[in-house]
Every structure is written in C-alpha cells, then in structure tokens.
Structure 1
Amino acid sequence: MFLDDLMRELHVQLQHAGHTCLKILFKMFKQLEKTPRTVLACERSHLDHEKARLGTHVEQHFFNHKVSLLVPGCDRLPAELDSALNSMRSFLLVKNLPLSQLLDKEFLEKAVYKGSTYGLSYQTRIDEDNCFALLPNGKLVLSVDKDTYETLGLEGKPSQYQRRPAGRYVVSVDLKDRTMSPGGKGHQRVLKALTEHNPLSCDLLLSQHLPGDESPALQSLLSNHKLSEHRPRVSTHVMTSLPCPTLVTSDLQGEQQSCDPQSFLEWLGAVDAGVTFEEESGGYLSTYECPQPQTVLDSAVRCSVTGLLLPEDIYHLLDVLRRSVLEPKLAPWLALTVHGFQDSPVSWGTAEHGFLSGGENFYTLVLFQNLDYWICMATGSHDACPP
C-alpha cells in the first residue's frame, strides 16, 4: 500500500515537472512491482498407475543436494526408514582435478561407459564462475564465461539466461559418442581444448552407482589426485503440537477441503526451516500462520540428509516410504522434498539451469496411505519448465 501511494505521488510530480531524477525514481519503483517468474508444476497419480511419471521425474533430477522428510504422527522413525536414510552411498571430493582426466581411457571405460557416474564442480557459482557437470548418460556439460569459451574453441551455444551480448556459453560433449573413443578425432579435439591455452580444473564431487555387487572404481581411478570420501549428513528432529494443514488426496487444487499446493509448500518449507507457529505476534512485524483448515499433530519427525545424493538412493527411499506409509499408526500422508544444487549447470535432464535470486530447483512428493501421491516441481526464473 505504501509503495502504491508513493508511486502515485511521483506520477503527479512528474506531470508538473520533467526532472530527470524523478523519472529515474519512477522507473525504479516500477521495477519493484515486477516479481521474478517462477514455475510450479503439480501432478496427481497413483504409485501403481501405468502412466505414473514419478520415476521419470526422480531419474532425470540428477544432482540432489538435500532430502527433507516429514513424517507426521510419530515420535520416532520406523527402523527400515531410518536405515534407508542413513545408508545413502558416500561420495568423493576430488581437489583441483583437471577436466582432461575425465577423458582418460581407463576413466572412460570404468566410469563413463558403464553409466551412472555423477560429477559436479564444487563451490563454483553458475552466474559467475566456470561450472561443470558429468551426467550419468555420459554427457559432459561446461557452463563457461565468454573468455573461456573463446579459448576452448569447442562448439557451444549462448546461455539462454544471459542478456545480449552473450557473456556465458554452454558446451555439451557426449563422451559416449563414437568420435569420442580414445584416439578418435573428437576425443583428440576435446582433449586438446581442455589441456592447451587455458587448462581447466576444479574441485569435483563424484559418485557412481553400479548394479549388483560391483564396487565403484572411482577411488582407484583417481588415486593419484587429492581426494576425500564423505558420507551424507543426517539430522533428525522430533516436533510436538505442530499445526498442520488438512490434506485431501483427491483435492490437488485446494478448491474444497485442503490447502492449495503453493500454500502447503510454504508451510512445509517453514517447518523445515524451524519456523514456530505462534498465534501471538510477540512484537514482531510479521508472523506466519498454518493454512486453514488445520489440525494439531501430537508429534512429527523431521529428517534431512545432505550431500551428493543420487536418484538411485532416492528410488530406494521411495520403496521404503511406500511400505512405511501403510503403517496404521502414522498420519495419512508423508512428505518428501528433494532439493537440487543451486549452482548445477542442469536442473532436470539436460535442461539448462541458471541463478537469478535463489537457484531453486526441487520437487516435493506427498504420499498418501492409499498410495495416491502429489508431486510438485518448482524452479525459478532461470530454468525451463519441469518435465
């Protein structure tokens, strides 16, 4: 309201005076009215439905930084669920790794060609630094500044989220392509680009999923480099007297008995952030209240896992959740949120990811006792629509 009144006053003054400074101020306030574009795509289905796309969404969200789980109606996790959260596979942090190492013949044969190897540059900013990602399908994605792009001499395209003239470029190399076989023309060209003029290197997070009992070979392949192995960090918090929105499995749009998806996600984010739901303002300028209609849960468990988390581990967690949600003592739903890395070059699949204000790319699954589910996928203004 204050902003609207101020803009009207400025407009009146502009009608009587053509001062440049007032015009600039008026333009600035008009910009404040604009909010960044965001995308929230929601679907409702059943886990056993033949056309359910949940598996596709999970599989294509390659680089996951955090998993948050809310289990209403209990004061401790079921043993199988606790085990699943604590058994997510470890990952490597390789310091100052030359990107040319990813084109080494042995690395290609034991890591890239076998698939399910995930690599992401660590502590690089997608809007300022050169960022790199090795996708499980064998594609190497480089998001680089203009100077680096011109030095590389590789074919790429301007970032779709950069203003003109382009200051950032995206290069995608298919390491499984025939021409990229060690000794081939494509392999030699890319290897030369990564090693000459401006050799590229970075700290890299790496993890690999192999079927059966086969052990990942990454640690032995990179033994000549400085590396460390890390386990995902797990934290658990028990809450009591938690105000909770009333959800109805069939009402995704919130038109009848339950809150709409956006309001539910805001509430879920507040719970994950540890926001208290107190009716009294306590002298604070702003407060947050749980959406209506609501119930008060006697207890609930909030868990989070952080690290380089693979889609395969999330698949396993979903299998356990499927069994856990059938427990009669639990509330009629569970909520799982999977957060992507803010500075990953991709979000879903090979879709380019950018960073404007938050770099958000995540999905939330609400699983009901009858195995119906909602999935809500959210991105910011520098992302394509989720699949």
Structure 2
Amino acid sequence: MSSHLEKCARNLLVCEKSNFMNEESRHEIHVSKHSFNYKISLLMPECGVLPVDVAKVISNFKSYFLVQDQPVYKFLEEKFLDIVKKGGFYALSYKTRIDEDNVVALLSSGHLILSLNKDTYQHLGLEGKPSVYKHKTDMRYVVTVDLTDKSMVPGTKRYQRVLLSLKERVPLKSDFLWTRWPPDDDGVLQDLLSQFTYKECRPTFVSHSLREIRCPTLHPSDLRGNTHSCSPAEFLEWLGSVNLKICCDNSASSFLSTYVCPEPSAPVSKAVLCTVTGLIPPEDVYTLLQELRRCLAESGFPAWVSLTVHGFADSPVSWGSTEHGFLKGGENFYNVVCFKNQDYWLHMATGSQDGCPP
C-alpha cells in the first residue's frame, strides 16, 4: 500500500465556548456565514418525541428548487440582479465536483463564485486567482464577481465584459439548487423560475426514537474535557456513532474493533434523533437554534441538546467566501451544544483543503 494512503488526511477542529446572552457571542455570525447546508442532525436526550414547537419550526423550513440546465450568465440579467441585491438568495451548482468540475455558487451577499478548471479559466478571460489548494502547478482558479457592485450595473464596461465571457466565450451551464429567504412574497422568484425546467423540493425530515443509550456527561464550563466532560473530538465521534446507529456497548463478538461511549457517561432511557436534508439556508438554521434555546429554558427539558449542521462537501466555499476543497473527506460542518443556562459549545470542523474557520 502506498505510504500516503496509510495516513489519515489532516483535519481541523476549532472550538469555542460562550453564552447566548453574551453581547460578544458570535453564534449568529457563525451560523449566517455557513451558506450552503445540506443536512441538520438534532439530538435531544431524555426526550421520547420531538417537541411540538421544534417540529413546527422544521416544518416551516423553506422550499428549494432544482433548476435544470441553467446558463450561468442568467444570474447577470436585470431581474436576477434585482432579487440578488435584496439579499437572501442562494444558488449552488448541483452534482458538480469541486476537485474535477466547474462549480458555481451565488451567496446571499451577491457574490458569484466560480471555481474553475484551468482550461475553462483561461478561455473565460476574467480576472481570478489560483486556488489556494494547489498542485505543483496551478490546476484550479477562483473567480469572484460582486453582482451588487456599482461596476456591475447593466450597460457598464465591467458588466458587459463579464456578460460576454459567460454568454459567448464560455457559455457555462449547470443544474442548480436555488432557495430564497425570506419566502417569495412578490412573485419575482416564480417569474425567474418560469424561464427554466425546475422542480420544487421540500426538505426531507426523518425522526427516530432511541431507547436505553449511553450519553457522555457534559458540563457547560468544561469545553476542552477533563475529569468532568469528554474532549470535543470524543464527543463528535460519539455523535457520529449515534447517527450511524453504531453499537457503543463495547461488546466483542466477531468484530476486530469495538467502540464505547466516552467517559464520564450515564445511561439515558430515551432520546430523539432527527435529521433534515435539503438546501437549508442559514436563516432557517438560526430560527431552529432560537427555538431550541427557548425549549431548554422550560422545565422538563433535557440539560443539553446537540445541533449539527453539515455543509455540502462540494461547495466552493465553507464559511463566508473562504475557499473549500475536497481532497479525501470534504469535511465541512459545525456543531452547537446548547445548555439550559444558555451556555453553548461551538465546534467547527474542516478538512485539509479549507482555511481556518472564523
């Protein structure tokens, strides 16, 4: 076996602890900057079923749209620019691979991100920069166009140049996922969709009731882990085992390896685990986080809940406009552990092809 295959790819885990009531808390900023989310996992120990108000928030998550064969230059048309300048519009090319294909994203800030292979970039003729995740020679380039800039008003030289490049020099097109927050109350989005073949999609929701599981004992003040709590890496590994329904009782049978819940831990008679998949805008994630905070303040609710948000592995960005790459794992997620006293832990994880989370 090749020596580089025997090594695990480097990954980065950034952790911080704060209180939601703290004026300097950055939880809202972190959530808002993670634009392209495809899955949410929510774990609530000591709950047999998902609370009604939490389920209601999830049921109100926005629809998203799968748009087929959309030319990229369409984002530059005047009707598109009008909706982009209002903010809250997200678009991501669908089933494109960040390490091989041309990948396109439109952020709610109005920044159009083009992650391009070398040939496409050279033919396109727009100014960009080499990907920060290089081979020995530059193989990928990133072009960023701020569609809200005054230089991108239709009729200006800059606008005409970008339009010419995307419409005639290299007529890029792809299937796209779109969503808009707040919801489409003026019919503009439907008017834009009418130009294409599209399908409206609802986020998929699945809930499982868990019985007789063992959970780590967590203390709000102990993020790093010592005698009172497990370490962040151990906690995330345990969360992964719960989501994958891996047995944690350490019983050896015909298997060469076993897994046990990190210590200190305690038995839990019941828990609820739910997952939501789709194109989920950060605004919906934040609404859910606020509802979880409210629930925790009520009596009868668990001491803590865990919310994990997974970004698309092939998104060209992770947080904000920070470039995201794939390499081996494509890690791109964060986890928030919320406690009854409004303390929280925030874990932000990336792979070796990402910059440090903010």
| Inter-partner Cα distance in structure 2 for 1:285 and 1:103 | 57
Q: Does 1:322 pair with 2:322?
A: no
1:248 aligns with one of 204, 210, 219? 219
Aligned to 2:352: 381
| Inter-partner Cα distance in structure 2 for 1:341 and 1:41 | 19
1:311 aligns with one of 262, 268, 282? 282
SS of the aligned residue for 2:56 comes to helix
Cα pair 2:311 2:333 within 8 Å, conserved: yes
* Structure 1 unaligned regions, length at least 5: 1-24
TM-score by length of 1: 0.90
1:171 aligns with one of 134, 143, 147? 143
Distance 1:271 1:170, change over 3 A: same
Cα pair 2:249 2:261 within 8 Å, conserved: no
SS of the aligned residue for 1:286 comes to coil
1:235 aligns with one of 185, 197, 206? 206
Aligned to 1:99: 72
| Inter-partner Cα distance in structure 2 for 1:144 and 1:32 | 27
Aligned to 1:141: 113
Aligned to 2:327: 356
Aligned to 2:162: 190
Measured against aligned partners, the alpha-carbon deviations of 1:322-374 in whole angstroms (never above 9, x if no partner) come to 11112332220000000000000000000000001111111100000111000
Aligned to 2:266: 295
Cα pair 1:91 1:308 within 8 Å, conserved: yes
Aligned to 1:119: 91
SS of the aligned residue for 1:93 comes to strand
Aligned to 2:21: 48
SS of the aligned residue for 1:347 comes to coil
2:189 aligns with one of 192, 205, 218? 218
2:41 aligns with one of 58, 68, 85? 68
Aligned to 1:5: none
Aligned to 2:314: 343
Report the CA distance between 1:34 and its aligned residue. Answer: 4.2
| Inter-partner Cα distance in structure 2 for 1:271 and 1:374 | 19
* Letter of the structure 1 residue corresponding to residue 52 of structure 2: A
Report the CA distance between 1:261 and its aligned residue. Answer: 0.7
* Letter of the structure 1 residue corresponding to residue 217 of structure 2: T
Q: Does 1:158 pair with 2:130?
A: yes
Report the CA distance between 1:198 and its aligned residue. Answer: 2.5
| Inter-partner Cα distance in structure 1 for 2:5 and 2:119 | 33
Report the CA distance between 1:216 and its aligned residue. Answer: 6.0
Report the CA distance between 1:164 and its aligned residue. Answer: 2.2
Report the CA distance between 1:285 and its aligned residue. Answer: 1.2
* Structure 2 unaligned regions, length at least 5: none
Aligned to 1:88: 61
**Percent of aligned positions that are identical:** 50
1:58 aligns with one of 15, 24, 31? 31
| Inter-partner Cα distance in structure 2 for 1:155 and 1:223 | 32
Aligned to 1:6: none
Measured against aligned partners, the alpha-carbon deviations of 1:123-156 in whole angstroms (never above 9, x if no partner) come to 0000000000000000000001000001100000
Aligned to 1:268: 239
* Letter of the structure 2 residue corresponding to residue 239 of structure 1: L
User: What value does the CA root-mean-square deviation take over the aligned residues?
Assistant: 1.4
Aligned to 1:9: none
Measured against aligned partners, the alpha-carbon deviations of 1:209-252 in whole angstroms (never above 9, x if no partner) come to 138x8346222112021011000000000000011111111111
| Inter-partner Cα distance in structure 2 for 1:166 and 1:157 | 10
Cα pair 1:95 1:202 within 8 Å, conserved: yes
SS of the aligned residue for 2:145 comes to strand
| Inter-partner Cα distance in structure 2 for 1:286 and 1:53 | 39
| Inter-partner Cα distance in structure 2 for 1:216 and 1:84 | 24
TM-score by length of 2: 0.97
Cα pair 1:138 1:174 within 8 Å, conserved: yes
Report the CA distance between 1:33 and its aligned residue. Answer: 6.0
| Inter-partner Cα distance in structure 1 for 2:319 and 2:170 | 30
Q: Does 1:131 pair with 2:95?
A: no
Report the CA distance between 1:278 and its aligned residue. Answer: 2.8
| Inter-partner Cα distance in structure 1 for 2:299 and 2:65 | 40
Cα pair 1:97 1:201 within 8 Å, conserved: yes
Q: Max radius of gyration: which structure?
A: 1
| Inter-partner Cα distance in structure 2 for 1:318 and 1:210 | 17
Aligned residues: 358
| Inter-partner Cα distance in structure 2 for 1:122 and 1:343 | 9
SS of the aligned residue for 1:196 comes to helix
Report the CA distance between 1:177 and its aligned residue. Answer: 1.0
Distance 1:144 1:340, change over 3 A: same
